[in-house]
Copies of this chain bind each other. A is one copy, B any other.
Amino acid sequence: MSAPLDLLVLGNAIVDVIARTEEDFLSAQGVPKGAMQLIDEARAEDLFAAMGPATIVSGGSGANTAVGAAILGAKTGFIGKVRDDELGGLFAHDLKATGVTFSVPAATDGPATARCFVLVTPDGERTMNTYLGACQGLSPADVDEATTAAARVVYLEGYLWDPPAAKDAFRKAVKIAHAAGNAVALTLSDAFCVGRYREEFLGLIRDGSIDILFANSAELQSLYETDDADAAVKALRDERDARGKHLLGLVTRSAEGSLVVRGGEIRAVEASPVHEVVDTTGAGDLFAAGFLAGHARGLDYATSARLGSLAAAEVIQHIGARPQHDLVALAKAQGLI
């Protein structure tokens, strides 16, 4: 029997290769600003050759959430796939260095560790180009049954729908979690990702697979195919699964804070103050980290959302999607924990 976790995250194991860039470069390269697009190895090489000087920091949406939650005191594990190369070593090191349990063996052949080329424009917006590499090898065999059954919350990336075998790993984790009476959380990841898998995501919500849903306004509007942000939130509020149960929805709205959608009600929670937006990469990931860590500490939903907002505010004020400041000290200073 494994030691119980507060949070087990399944996600793509990705290292971010970050460069500041001008708006012109995005249009010259034909990449849609603010989104995440998948690229193949040849395109990855071309894009890297064309982009500016880079900073390399571990990333991956779910892994960023795992690290943030662990820093905020949640006992956290991560499941994802790297290759046994230099960047895979960095990714594994960075999880372990923040106290996240990570024991999925690195692939010894096949594609290199995944990398996301993150282009940050002067307004702080990030545009992502992901080469999935070794993530394509994540499979149900990597989901350890005992660990998964013992996790209070299993958190899943919508992005897992991209690599072919990962969705089977996702489904296996849902099944184990629910059989053990634990909760399953999903992040919608990205509006374009929702566009690719809208029916599957709605299916997961409506068949009771998902207990907690994280989304930003754009993702929610993509899910419900509406230009009206309020209508999308109301559609989420009115969702019930096959057994009539509402899910818990957390909707992030950038500088306007977040919404806690629960039991047919919508509650607004203010954003944390931000001095200067440097790089928005990881904002949603760290909101989820703070919320889930607050939840694990037994805080109410609104306070947990405030903790999420605080963690998101920290991460957008520097380059990279991993926290650089002491989140516990920041949360204590604001009286949240």
Residues of B within 8 A of A51 (CB): 97
Chain B residues with Cβ below 8 Å from A87 are 86
With a cutoff of 8 Å between Cβ atoms, the chain B residues found around residue A58 in the complex are 53
Q: How far is the CB of A53 from chain B (nearest CB, A)?
A: 4
- Tell me which residues across on chain B come within 8 A of A112, comparing CB atoms: 86
Q: Which of B19, B56, B85, B318 contacts A56 (CB 8 A)?
A: B56
Q: Give every chain B residue within 8 A of A55 (Cβ-Cβ).
A: 55-57, 320
Additional A-B contact list (11), CB under 8 Å, known A51-B97, A52-B97, A54-B90: A19-B97, A52-B98, A53-B94, A53-B322, A54-B57, A54-B93, A54-B94, A55-B56, A85-B86, A86-B86, A318-B319
| 25 A-B residue pairs with CB within 8 Å | A48-B93, A49-B93, A51-B97, A52-B97, A52-B98, A53-B58, A53-B67, A53-B93, A53-B94, A53-B97, A53-B322, A54-B57, A54-B90, A54-B94, A54-B97, A55-B55, A55-B56, A56-B56, A56-B90, A85-B86, A86-B86, A86-B87, A318-B319, A319-B319, A319-B324
Q: Across the A-B interface, give the 7 residue pairs with the lowest CB-CB distance, nearest first.
A: A56-B56, A53-B94, A86-B86, A53-B97, A52-B97, A55-B57, A53-B98
